[in-house]
Amino acid sequence: MNTKLAGARVLVWGWGRHGGGAAAVRRCQALGAQVEILDRQSAPELGAEIAVPWHVGDASHPAFARADLIVASPAIPPRAWPAVHPPRICPEALFFAAHRGRIAAVTGTKGKSTTVRILATLLGWPAGGNSYEPLLDVQDAHGVQADVVAELSSFQLWYLAQGQVPQPELAVLTSLAVDHLDWHPDVGHYHAAKVALFSWAKQGIGRDLPGLTCSVSYREGRFLYAGEPVAERADLPLPGDHNANNAALAIAAALALGLNPAVIGERLRAVVGLPHRLAHVHAHGRIDFVDDSIATTPEAAMCALAAIHGPLAVILGGSDKGADFASLAKAVAIRGAIPVLIGATAPRLAAAMAVHGVSWRSATDLKTAIHEACAHLPDGGTVLLSPACASFDMFQGFEDRGHKFAAAARAAR
C-alpha cells in the first residue's frame, strides 16, 4: 500500500468502539492527508471531540465518492460497499505498512483475546488490535521497530486481504467454528478470512486447520514440550480447560519465537485475566455471580459451563449471529444447568432447549434474569452470564452487558 498520503482526500468511515477511528485520523493527518469522517451517528452522539469534518450517513453520502481513499472500520460489512467505490483499507493496514518489528498474530473464533494476553505476558511484548487498543496507538507508543502481539478478527483480515497483506513472523489459530454470519455472507467466507492469515505468515501454530500443529500439549495438569514439563496448570491463574488449551498455544508460540523454556512457569504466574471472561464480580449469601459476557458463541458458552462447578444457573441470549444452538442445549442438559433466556434469540434458544427436555425461564432484562436465576438456586451456586450471543439487541456491546450484569448482581437481594 502506498502510504504517501500527503494532500490525499481520506475518508475515515466508521468511528468504531475501541478507538480505531481516532487512531486512523491521527495517522492519516500525520501523513499529510486531508481527513473527513463518515458515520451513522454524529460526533456528539458518540462523544467524539475532534476537529475534523464529520458527516452523518452511509456510502451514498457525497463525501464517499469524492474521497481518494476510504479507511473503513472493520465493523463495516462487505454488503455495505457499493459496487464501485474508491480504494479501501482498514486502519490496521496503516499499521502494517509502517511496521518493521516482529509480529505474532493471533486469530480464531474464540480464545484469541486471552491467548494474546498470555502470549504478550510470556514474551514481554505489547499487545494490540481487535479488542485491545488500536495497533496504530501501540505503534505510536512503542515505535515501528517494536515487536507486537496482534489480535486480528475475521473482519480485519478480510480488509487486509484487499491490499495490505501482513507478513507476521508467526500466526496462531485458537479455534475455527461458526460465527459472525451477520457480517460474513456465509461460513465459507468467514473461514476463508481466518485461514488467509496462515498463507501470509512465516510459520503457523494451531488446531482445527490441516497443516497446523501445536508443539505444547496440556495433560494431567502439566504443559509438556518435547515430552518434558515446562509449566504446571497451577501456574496459570485462569479457570477452565479451555484457558489451559489457550495457554498451550501461547507457550508453543513463545517457544517458537525464542523464549527460554525455563521462564515459562514464572511468566505464566504473571498473567492477569481479561474483563468479562469468567470474571467473579459479586457474591451474595451462598451465590456467586460470574461475568462471561465475552461468550458470544455457543462454543464459548459451552466452555464456560464446563469451567464452573456446583449448582448453576446460566443467562443465555442476545442478538442473532446465525448460530446453531443444538449443541449448546445438549450441553446445558448434560450439565444440569438452569437456563434463563433473554434477548432476541430467546425463542430460538427455547426451541433448542425443548428438544433436549430442558426447562427454561425467561426474562425481559438482566435484573429479572438474575432474580429468576437466584430463585432456582435455593441452596446456593453460581449465576453465570455466558450468553452465547452478541449483545446489540439490548446493550452497546459485550462490555456494556457485562458491566450491567455486575451492577444488577450487586443490587440483588
Look at residue 344 and give its three-state secondary structure.
Answer: coil
Over residues 104-136, the pLDDT tens digits come to 999 999 999 999 999 999 999 999 999 999 999
Rounded distance, CA 314 to CA 339, Å? 5
Q: Where are the beta strands (DSSP E) in 226-311?
A: 228-232, 279-284, 287-291
pLDDT tens-digit series, residues 334-391? 999 999 999 999 999 999 999 999 999 999 999 999 999 999 999 999 999 999 999 9
Checking if the pLDDT of 2 tops 60, the result is no
What's the pLDDT score for residue 286? 96
Distance CA 107, CA 151 (A): 6
How confident is the prediction for the chain on average, in pLDDT? 96
pLDDT band at 4 (very low <50, low <70, confident <90, very high): confident
- pLDDT tens for residues 177-220? 999 999 999 999 999 999 999 999 999 999 889 999 999 999 99
Q: Are 380 and 286 in contact (CB under 8 A)?
A: yes
Q: pLDDT band at 3, cuts 50/70/90?
A: low
Give tens-digit pLDDT for 235-269.
999 999 999 999 999 999 999 999 999 999 999 99
Asked whether 384 and 306 are in contact (CB, 8 A), the reply is no
Best CA proximity match to 294, nearest among 177, 369, 151, 399? 399
- pLDDT tens, position by position, 44-87: 999 999 999 999 999 999 999 999 999 999 999 999 999 999 99
Query: Does residue 222 contact residue 232 with C-beta atoms inside 8 Å?
Result: yes
Which helix or strand (DSSP H or E) is residue 298 part of?
A: helix 298-307
CA geometry: angle 13, 4, 6, nearest 5 deg: 75
pLDDT tens digit sequence for 267-293: 999 999 999 999 999 999 999 999 999
Residue 139 CA to residue 129 CA, distance in Å, equals 11
Contact 37/11 with Cβ under 8 angstroms? yes
Predicted structure pTM score? 0.93
Query: CA-to-CA distance for 242 and 254, rounded, in angstroms?
Result: 18
Domains and CATH numbers, the chain: 9-89 (3.40.50.720), 94-268 (3.40.1190.10), 279-411 (3.90.190.20)
pLDDT at position 18 is: 83
| Contact indicator for 126, 132 with CB cutoff of 8 Å | no
Give residue 413's pLDDT band: very low, low, confident or very high (50, 70, 90): low
Q: What is the pLDDT of residues 128-168, one digit of tens each?
A: 999 999 999 999 999 999 999 999 999 999 999 998 799 99
pLDDT at 1 over 60: no
Residue type, 177: A
Quick check: 240 and 304 in contact, CB under 8 A? yes
What was the pLDDT predicted at 164? 79
Query: In angstroms, rounded to a whole number, what is the distance separating the alpha carbons of residues 135 and 161?
Result: 17
Taking only the tens place, the pLDDT of each residue in 26-54 is: 999 999 999 999 999 999 999 999 999 99
